[in-house]
Amino acid sequence: MRIPLSAPDITDAEIAAVTQVLRSGRLSLGPQLDAFESAIAQYTGAQHAVGVSSGTAGLHLAIRALGLKEGDEVILPSFTFIAAANVLLYERITPVFADVEAATLNLDPSLVESAITPRTRALLVVHTFGTPAPLDELRAIAHRHNLLLLEDACEALGAEYSGRKVGSLADAGVFAFYPNKQITTAEGGVFVTQNESLAARVRSLRNHGRTESADWLQHVELGYNYRLSELHAALGVAQMRRIDAILARREKIARGYTERLSGTAGVTLPPLDLPNRRISWFVYVVRLAEKYSQEDRDRIVKQMASQGIGVGRYFAPIHLQPQYRRLNHSPLPVTEAVGARTIALPFFNQITEAQLDEVAETLRTLL
């Protein structure tokens, strides 16, 4: 693509950091991992941060460490990346999908409570596209029903709710650093919590069930190879040094799209500002009006691609995916309507003003 959907922002500082690790001879479970975990903990306000191999791995370990098990139910949105539901099926936990708010595309608190059953154990809250979910209402529901609260902040590093960074505002939270995220470790994620024993268990689970005090070949429980290498961690440390500038740049790009597309008939733009929340811009997603069908949306996506402009259909609802159609679901009208009409526009730090102009004009022309 001439204008890709996303692209990592890698500078000479990141390249030097990774090269230094390669020369050090220490490639796993070393000082760079400690430094990256400390940087994330300090930035988010979490007491503990545990680096893992991906955001999916972090969510999986969170589910295990929180004690969720076969037969339990977890309420989550269907309008999100499929990993949030997959980690539940890994543990034979039943995902229960609730609909989202039309404005923010986050879980609708007014619909969550009606989805609770005697088997419900937790709420898995996703900060969709970097927009903080309504945590006060969701936390109140969790408290009222004695439920665990888990934040999927994989798209939301740096987002704030009531002046505090998301991810550290529940029983546990998870961030992800795939190359399309605000910062990247190439592959990787971080689990965060205020609970020391929970963090210790995740550290053990990520490393084949070992404990820090045990012999290398002694394993206290069934674990996984979900470690984050020194190479990935070093990249993350270097990226975190630029986090404020990166987030400011991404906000400028989002505002640039809004300036260019405001007044375009047939398109709903994402909100730029919300009360008591700071958005951390992961992607810029527009929604076509109801007069457009899913086929119209898909045709526009293909036409833009044919012109060298990478766009995406974020998100295809999980409950409509083949693996999940077999489950019984309540109606999700907002999720289905939005999922059929969303278009994620090219969004990356180095995108130019001329490219923003071209993307906006091409979309208007095709509409």
Cα separation values, 200 from 48, 115, 350, Å: 9, 32, 39
User: What does the DSSP 8-state code read for residue 93?
Assistant: P
How many Å apart are CA 99 and CA 101, to the nearest integer?
7
Sign, CA torsion 88/93/99/100: negative
How many Å apart are CA 149 and CA 141, to the nearest integer?
10
181 classed as catalytic: yes
- From 104, 116, 164, 163, select the one nearest 140 (Cα to Cα): 116
H-helix or E-strand spanning residue 304: helix 294-306
How many Å apart are CA 306 and CA 309, to the nearest integer?
7
How many Å apart are CA 84 and CA 246, to the nearest integer?
26
**Alpha-carbon 123 to chain mean position:** 16
Sign, CA torsion 150/151/152/154: negative
69, 181, 252, 302: the active-site residue: 181
How many Å apart are CA 117 and CA 110, to the nearest integer?
15
Crossing angle between the packed helical segments 353-366 and 294-306, to the nearest 10 degrees: 140
- DSSP readout, 27-62? -BSSHHHHHHHHHHHHHHT-SEEEEES-HHHHHHHH
How many Å apart are CA 96 and CA 112, to the nearest integer?
10
69: left (phi over 0), alpha (psi -120 to 50) or beta: beta
DSSP strand pairing (189-193 vs 48-52): antiparallel
Query: Looking at the annotation, which residues are catalytic?
Result: 181
